[in-house]
Structure 1
Amino acid sequence: MSDDPKAHSGVERHVLEALVCPETQGVLRYDAEAGELISERARLAFPIRDGIPIMLVDEARKLDD
């Protein structure tokens, strides 16, 4: 697998790095395998669809504890 997020998500790395969690304003971790941006503090995974990060809490998947 490539370390370049754009290879899987269609989103430039600098764009992903500029995004923050809409709930906590915290840092997000990119999960290339799942195609999601993870907020550890909020325990949410935000999907990336067609190269567009969906930064809506209502669209996020809750992470299991």
Structure 2
Amino acid sequence: MEGTELAPESADAFAAKLNGWDPRNRKPWVHFCVTPRAVKVWREENELAERELMREGRWLV
């Protein structure tokens, strides 16, 4: 969606998280809302097995 179409409360929250940087005052921009379907975490390769936190959009933890 175009940034100018973003709900004011969402745009205000976005700007607050970025210490006041507000793209609504700039050239046209696009806002993406991302919904993760899977989340995996690890520090090293030996931890890769069974590190799923989300699968098919459902939290496992």
Please give the TM-score of this superposition, normalised by the length of structure 1. Answer: 0.29
| Structure (1 or 2) with the greater strand fraction | 1
| Structure (1 or 2) with the greater helix fraction | 2
